């Protein structure tokens, strides 16, 4: 823990690695969204503008594909680091969904209906964060493999039936739009427009979170850190 100039206790929540990782994902997501959606909705004026100012459709496709490579490497590195950390370094698998998460859903529904007098007590990550995380991660893996099939259709159809390619196109585009909507509606709202963090949740950029917010949003984790459990 550290103290800032306003004597507000700050707690380290994210490592430098996670901060850099988030920046990489954020930049890759923006590039993939712009280049992917401009190809999907090519008939829109904004898509025409993007394509023309990117040097043409061929350059848009190149940017999309090579950004996809960076995104794929980062995603599989994220998965591998997580597996190694949990199995070898004995990290707490704090992102795994468990029975308590479903109990928390029911608890919070009861809270919103006025039956409970307080919200569910969350640990390092709430059920909302876990469900969003796994939705995006599984969707990302689907996008990666379907993207490979679309990039190398001749190679893929040497091992799989030809119907895989149109199926991959449907999966790739629809899953990408779904993730875009999830990021735009859920993640951006929770990180920027939510009254609890507005105008911006800076924890993923600074790596720190205030103790007051920690006590409010992650009381179970705070109790562990302070030796109260």
Note the helical H segments in the chain: 16-40, 45-53, 57-87, 99-112, 127-151, 153-156, 164-182, 188, 203-206, 211-217, 219-225
Q: Under a CB-based contact definition with an 8 Å cutoff, are residues 223 and 37 in contact?
A: no
pLDDT tens string 78-99: 999 999 999 998 898 999 999 9
pLDDT band at 50 (very low <50, low <70, confident <90, very high): very high
pLDDT of amino acid 5: 44
Domain locations along the chain: 12-91, 94-229
- The pLDDT > 90 percentage for the chain reads 75
pLDDT tens string 100-128: 999 999 999 999 999 999 889 989 999 99
CATH T-level topology, domain 94-229? Fumarate Reductase Cytochrome B subunit (1.20.950)
pLDDT of amino acid 7: 41
């Amino acid at each position: 823990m550290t103290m800032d100039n306003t004597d507000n206790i700050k707690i380290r929540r994210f490592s430098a690695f996670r901060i850099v990782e988030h920046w990489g994902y954020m930049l890759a997501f923006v590039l993939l969204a712009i280049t992917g959606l401009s190809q999907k909705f090519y008939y829109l004026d904004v898509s025409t503008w993007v394509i023309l100012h990117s040097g043409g459709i061929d350059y848009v496709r190149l940017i999309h594909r090579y950004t996809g490579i960076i995104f794929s490497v980062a995603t599989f590195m994220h998965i591998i680091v997580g597996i190694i950390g949990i199995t070898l370094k004995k990290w707490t698998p704090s992102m795994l969904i468990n029975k308590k998460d479903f109990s928390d859903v029911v608890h919070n529904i009861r809270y919103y209906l006025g039956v409970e007098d307080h919200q569910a007590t969350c640990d390092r990550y709430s059920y909302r964060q876990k469900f969003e995380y796994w939705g995006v991660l599984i969707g990302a893996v689907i996008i990666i493999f379907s993207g490979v099939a679309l990039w190398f259709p001749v190679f893929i159809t040497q091992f799989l039936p030809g119907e895989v390619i149109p199926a991959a196109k449907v999966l790739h585009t629809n899953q990408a739009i779904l993730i875009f909507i999830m990021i735009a509606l859920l993640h951006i709202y929770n990180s920027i427009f939510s009254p609890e963090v507005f105008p911006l949740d800076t924890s993923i950029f600074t790596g720190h979170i205030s103790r007051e917010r920690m006590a409010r949003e992650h009381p179970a984790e705070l109790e562990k850190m302070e030796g109260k459990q």
